[in-house]
Amino acid sequence: MSDGIAPMAENDTQHKLAGQYSISTDLKAKIASDLIENDDEFAKDELQKRMESRSVYSKADEYHRKRLVGRQDSTNDDLQKKKSKSRWDVQSYTLPDESQTLESDVVEVLTASIPCAENLRYFKESDRLLFAQTLDKKSIDDLSPEEKSKRTLLLLLLKIKNGSTSARKIAMKQLTNKVFDFSPQLIFDCILPILLDKTLEDHERYLMIKVMDRVLYRLGPTVKPFVKSILVVISPLLIDEDEVARTTGQEVITNLASATGMATMLLAIRPDIDNEDEYIRNMAARTFAVVSKALGVKQLLPFINAVCHSNKSWRARHTGVRMVQQIAILLGPGILRNLPALIQCIKDGLTDEHTPVKMMTANTLTTLAQNSYLYGIEAFNIILEPLWKGIRRHRGKLLSSFLKCLAGIIPLMDPEYAGYYTHELMTIIQRNFNSPDDEMKKTVLIVLQKCVRIENVTPEFLRESVAPSFFQNFWIRRIALDRHLNKMVVYTTVILSEKLGCSYVIDRLLGPLKDEAEPFRVMALHGVNRAVKLLGTDDLDDRQEARLVDALLIAFQDQDSDDPVIFRGFGTVASSLNTRMKPFLSPIISTILNQLKHKSQTIRQNAADLCTVMIPILKNCKEMEILNKLNIILYESLGEVYPEVLGSIIKCMSSIIAVVKLDKLQPPVNQILPTLTPILRNKHPKVQINVIRLIGNVAERGSTYVAPKEWMRICFALLEMLKSPKKRILRTANDTFGYIAKAIGPQDILVVLLNNLKIQERQSRVSTAVAIGIVAETCGPYTVIPALMNEYKTPDTNVKNGILKAMTFMFEYIGPLSQDHIYLITPLLEDALTDRDLVHRQTAATVVKHLALHCAGTGTEDAFIHLLNLLMPNIYETSPHVIVRILESLEAVSYAVGTGPFMNYVWAGLFHPAKKVRKAFWKLYNNIYIQQVDAMVPYYPIDTNEDSMFLPFNHVL
């Protein structure tokens, strides 16, 4: 049987893969009869048919069926042509693409049914329930007064939530002004369900909270009955991940507390203080802290004391202590004035019978100690005895909390008492060095960091009692795998090195540097890098220097990843040793050369990066011959195919060229640059920026070693770099243009740059304008301005805009030299300021701004008065970008022509009959008033009537 299901012969056992599988005779007959009845689906597999019957397409509603019918038909055709190989090879459902036209049509259909709801951007399915009354097509006249108010309020909220920017602002203003037209009950019955909607997005939530904030401010004490409902909605914001949301929640609760008063807030918070749910109690504590900050902690101290000493429930005491902790976090150092009273409230928590209360009390005392650092030890005296007894008695997490608490208090003590407690505490700390609990390890490290810095803790004590156990228990492989613990151990080691000295710490880290485990080596490298950077290597002897360099070299050879810490560590040690590295240069360079030939690209890249780090040391050791050999080998490696490795090689060559005299460089510069020109076409950012820097070094230090034609060829290649989206590459390319222009003269470079202004890509034209400005700064503006003015005659708009942009950068860069060219450039600016194109006038105004700022007080007031006459008509522009540039230019011109002459242009417009004219001139007047208020005093208009003299402008409108 060629189609359908071919019955298997009973004796066909040649191709069996497992035991024989059989089905019942009834099922087999049913399948055969179904195949005979359905001739059109005869070729389909039964499993395939059943999977298709269960697909989402067959279960889709009528709306989706119409939209997806094309895809369904094509999918079914494909399934008929190609059978599934297994039961899982069935096409899965993918979300259909919605067209923008369909989406806009849906929004129009939805918003059309909402009366007075124009300018809605969208209308979600959840909005149907929240704003159901707005969908009612009943006439407004047929509604009762309560229904009218509710529909009006819901429409305003809908516009604020889903409307366009303009509609939202208008609706927000209307709601703020008409808030007393609605009852508080109605307002919160409408706003609170919206805020509780699970589909609410972040920006929608922000807008609704903004509405509530304004409503609370206007309604004042009338919101007292709704405080509990408001807190249920707003309190979760206090633990939101977004800092803006947390700040917004604090502001709303602050306004609510200010409006309703302390008693109302306490009545709302009180039921949640001893709630069984930890989440609700946490919210209550955070809310109470915000209320305390708003109303003053001193007023709420009796309530805090009562909660912390509650006999009703240990949960209430736990929440009371947490309130104090949250108050300390919010107030920071401002907690000092209430510190003794707060500690008095929570001191009994250290001896509470419930462990959570004791832990929370210890953590709260730690927070109070950190926020009152340097002060307040007198307030903590009353808790030292129970704290110390607890440290002696407790174990596990409770001991960890008590240890952190005492470690936070010790820095506040006098040196004598701090030294005593530290020595006593070290005994307990050493006992927990080998604790398997990670939390206890973190606690031990925190305590060490605090106690090591105490004056009375001597280096001898640390060497004998602490350091050996510390390095034995914490500098192990397992610690290196935990990122957080890893960083804490390295930081603690650096703090110990301040007392023990760099020599002692380096001696202990030599073993980890040679370890087989790479994470452990990297951890040791971080420690060596930070210790040497902090303390230097002056206390290392010759033997330790040799061992350190040997260990670093072994760590470098064993490294397989591209982690840059090896280069940073090597560079820090080499820079500290400086010329003392000379005996070790030979094995280091040999290792680098061997690694440059390795088959792994990562190892080759590491070798080139380490070579870059060693270049300054080779120069200080006067190993010029080694530098030339390295340069030759690196030059031969420019055929590298991997861009990351190639970028490192070119960076190393650039470092060599920066320190070697170019007349003694091998290979010579005129051989290196032609090889680099094709590499400029490489699109990798690392390659591009390093090639451009190398070319810039050569152009700056030895341009005469390269033929002018080669420089021009490089300029053409550099033009492509001006299209790069990377700002670093653009800056480096522009600087290199300046060096090349200084080397071969600006004429040929200008031809290339001016031609580049004719292209359509804006980013390239802006970068070209910057390059022209740099050429003018490097070679003098007199070499560039004639070419720019001649090119400005081109009728192409892009070219004219580019010329004006180039002048913007040019006059910004050349500074006071601008005064020599002001009269030469004025006709061009006159043409640009009277052009119909907005961008022309905008860019010309920026040119005038830079000219005015650099030429103030140089006797060129007549030119700027002429430019002021051309600028002033543009004050009525409405484009945001244009009006900002125009106002900046006018403010700059006010410095060039003087306040008095400039204000003569302003007085008449301040009282013009037209509102638009007055608005424009008052905006200008306010800016001048802020900057030059003292200089304006002699020029205020005086009434001609001798009997009265008035100064109408005594304040900013």
For domain 826-943, give its CATH number from 3.40.50.2000, 1.25.10.10, 3.50.50.60, 2.40.50.180.
1.25.10.10
Q: Exposed/middle/buried for 9, CB within 10 Å: 0-12, 13-18, 19+? A: exposed
- Smallest CA-to-CA distance from 64 within 102, 30, 91, 108 is with 102
Kindly give, in sequence order, each residue whose CB lies less than 8 Å from that of residue 570, ignoring residues fewer than 6 positions away. Answer: 552, 556, 610, 613, 614
What's residue 113's pLDDT?
54
At 447, the amino acid letter reads V
Q: Which two tokens stand for residue 898?
A: 């003087």
Rounded to 5 degrees, φ, ψ at 163 are -80, 170
Per-residue pLDDT tens over the stretch 379-433: 888 888 888 888 888 888 888 899 989 888 888 888 888 888 888 888 888 888 8
Q: Are 314 and 356 contacting, i.e. CB atoms less than 8 angstroms apart?
A: yes
Q: How far apart are CA 447 and CA 400, in angstroms?
A: 10
Question: Residue 835's beta-bridge partner residues?
Answer: none
Per-residue pLDDT tens over the stretch 539-588: 888 899 999 999 999 888 888 787 888 888 888 999 998 889 989 999 99
Q: How far apart are CA 422 and CA 825, in angstroms?
A: 75
- Smallest CA-to-CA distance from 737 within 751, 725, 148 is with 751
CATH 1.25.10.10 placement within the chain: 826-943
Asked whether residue 182 carries a pLDDT value surpassing 80, the answer given is yes
What's residue 645's pLDDT?
92
- Smallest CA-to-CA distance from 193 within 232, 165, 227, 163 is with 232
Least confident of 482-486, 687-691, 752-756: 752-756
Least confident of 104-108, 139-143, 277-281, 581-585: 104-108
Q: Is the model's pTM score more than 0.75? A: no
What's residue 734's pLDDT?
81
Rg of the chain over all Cα atoms, to the nearest angstrom: 39
- Smallest CA-to-CA distance from 564 within 651, 633, 641 is with 651
Q: Are 566 and 555 contacting, i.e. CB atoms less than 8 angstroms apart?
A: yes
Question: Residue 75's beta-bridge partner residues?
Answer: none
What's residue 36's pLDDT?
53
Q: Which two tokens stand for residue 732?
A: 């480096």
At 714, the amino acid letter reads I
Q: Which long-range contacts (CB under 8 A, 24 or more apart) does 413-420 make?
A: 413/377, 414/377, 415/454, 415/455, 415/456, 416/456, 418/454, 418/455, 418/456, 419/454, 419/455, 419/456, 419/457, 420/456
What's residue 493's pLDDT?
93
What's residue 1's pLDDT?
38
What's residue 12's pLDDT?
42
Per-residue pLDDT tens over the stretch 102-112: 445 545 545 55
Sequence length of the chain is 957
DSSP state of 376: -
Per-residue pLDDT tens over the stretch 40-98: 444 444 445 444 444 444 444 443 444 444 444 444 444 344 444 433 333 444 444 44
